[in-house]
């Protein structure tokens, strides 16, 4: 009833548009550099795993994947756990300056990373965190905490206040109520918030690159190495790109049932 005319065609075209560039990257990652530069083939004629072998045998390649995942995980845990009580407060209480505080938090989501690159470099160098995953994790909190607060506030507001009141009448202390009753009720919200923190920390490059040099270098920065005197190593570049798609795809698979609501930030 009231379906869009030609909707299968529209959807198929859009999905093809989304998948084609990704397919091309995957296609290239299985080719040799000779095949990439000399011919135009729609699929690898001589499929090779050599590009992937380069990445998995060179510590400077695979350790940068671990570096990236490290700061992403620290950031996600930190953002969600700090945002939970704050979101509860914004959802349930009026307090002095609450609306201004909420808007101020959101303004940090609007701050261009380029503005903060240099001052962050100074700040984290001064306190000795430069080139550690903590520097990047804390820097990413700047835009992830406001987002997590915003998402969780939406989900907590969907829980009727009577549940809080009943729990307190039953003698639950605040922390026990929070963990035993509220958290299970907003479990999907916590999942969605974690998903978004993961997403925005994983895709960001400018700050991650500025705040690291050797030890905590993220994969995104290592990829620029494929430009060398001998020309571009297209095959390895493509293989490294393909490997960065995997964590995202895995995470999407786990939250696929909540994706739609999550993208509406719990406000539908």
Partner 1 sequence: MEKITNQKGWFLVLPVFALVAFSAVIPLMTVVNYSVQDTFGNNKFFWNGIGWYQELLSPSTELGGRFFASLWRNLAFSAIVLAIEMPLGIVVALAMPREGWGVAFSLVVLALPLLIPWNVVGTIWQIFGRTDIGLLGYTLNWLGSDYNYVANPLDAWLTIIAMDVWHWSSLVALLCYAGLKSIPEAFYQAASIDGASRWAVFRAIQLPKMKRVLLIAGLLRFMDSFMIYTEPFVVTGGGPGNSTTFLSIELVKLALGQFDLGKAAAMSIVYMLIIIIVCWVYYTVMTNAGEDRGSARGGP
Please, which of residues 59-78 interact with partner 1 by CB under 8 A? Answer: 78
Determine, following the binding rule CB under 8 A, whether residue 111 of this chain makes contact with partner 1.
yes
CA 4 to each of CA 11, 15, 48, 147: distance values in angstroms, whole numbers, following the listed order: 11, 17, 44, 33
- CA distances to 80, 136, 192, 221 from 178, rounded to whole Å, are 14, 29, 18, 40
The nearest distance, CB 214 to partner 1, in angstroms, is 18
Q: Pick from 17, 128, 169, 184 the residue near partner 1 by CB under 8 A.
A: 17
Enumerate the β-bridge partners of residue 231. 228
Neighbours of 52 (CB within 10 A): 17
State yes or no: residue 44 binds partner 1 (CB under 8 A). no
Residue 6 or residue 47: which is nearer to partner 1 going by CB? 6
| 127 backbone dihedrals φ, ψ, rounded to 5° | -100, 10
Residue 190, both tokens: 């916590």
CA triple 154-157-163, angle to 5 deg: 145
Nearer to partner 1, 112 or 170 (CB): 112
Pair of tokens at residue 124: 């984290």
Among 54, 117, 181, 185, binds partner 1 (CB under 8 A): 117
Q: Based on CB atoms, which residue is closest to partner 1, 18 or 187?
A: 18
Binding residue for partner 1 (CB under 8 A) from 112, 128, 171, 175? Answer: 112
Report yes or no: 61 and 242 within 8 Å, Cβ to Cβ: no
Task: Give the count of residues interacting with partner 1 (CB under 8 A).
Answer: 101
Subset of 185-244 contacting partner 1 (CB under 8 A):
199, 202-206, 210, 219-220, 223-224, 234, 237-238, 241, 244
Residue closer to partner 1 by CB (options 57, 107) is 107
Residue-level length of the chain: 268
Q: Which stretch binds partner 1 (CB under 8 A): 8-16, 48-56, 59-67, 181-189?
A: 8-16
Give the x-and-dash track for 135-174 against partner 1 (CB under 8 A): ---xx-xx--xx--x-------xx-xx-------------
Residue 3 is classified by DSSP as P
- How many whole angstroms separate alpha carbon 29 and alpha carbon 46? 12
Contact residue for partner 1 among 110, 169, 214, 230 (CB under 8 A): 110
Any contact of residue 88 with partner 1 (CB under 8 A)?
A: yes
Contact between residue 267 and residue 156 where contact means Cβ atoms under 8 Å apart: no
119 touching partner 1, by CB under 8 A: yes
Q: Is 100 in the site for partner 1 (CB under 8 A)?
A: no
CA end-to-end distance (rounded Å), the chain = 22
Nearer to partner 1, 187 or 227 (CB): 227
């Amino acid at each position: 009833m009231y379906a869009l005319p030609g909707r299968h065609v529209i959807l198929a075209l859009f999905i093809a548009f989304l998948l084609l560039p990704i397919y091309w990257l995957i296609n290239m990652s299985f080719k040799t550099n000779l095949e990439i530069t000399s011919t135009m083939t729609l699929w690898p004629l001589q499929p090779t795993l050599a590009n992937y072998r380069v990445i998995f045998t060179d510590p400077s390649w695979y350790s940068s994947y671990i570096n990236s995942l490290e700061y992403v995980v620290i950031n996600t845990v930190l953002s969600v756990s700090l945002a939970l009580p704050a979101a509860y407060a914004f959802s349930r209480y009026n307090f002095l300056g609450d609306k201004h505080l909420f808007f101020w938090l959101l303004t940090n989501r609007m701050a261009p990373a380029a503005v903060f690159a240099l001052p962050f470099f100074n700040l984290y160098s001064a306190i000795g965190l430069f080139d550690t995953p903590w520097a990047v994790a804390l820097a990413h909190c700047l835009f992830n905490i406001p987002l997590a607060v915003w998402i969780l506030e939406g989900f907590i507001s969907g829980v009727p206040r009577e549940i809080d009141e009943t729990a307190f009448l039953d003698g639950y202390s605040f922390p026990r109520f929070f963990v035993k009753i509220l958290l299970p009720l907003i479990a999907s919200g916590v999942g969605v918030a974690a998903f978004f923190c993961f997403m925005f920390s994983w895709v960001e490059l400018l700050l991650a690159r500025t705040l690291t040099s050797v030890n905590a270098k993220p994969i995104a920065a290592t990829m620029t190495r494929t430009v060398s005197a001998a020309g571009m190593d297209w095959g390895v570049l493509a293989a490294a790109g393909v490997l960065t798609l995997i964590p995202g795809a895995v995470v999407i698979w786990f939250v696929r049932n909540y994706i739609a609501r999550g993208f509406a930030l719990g406000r539908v």
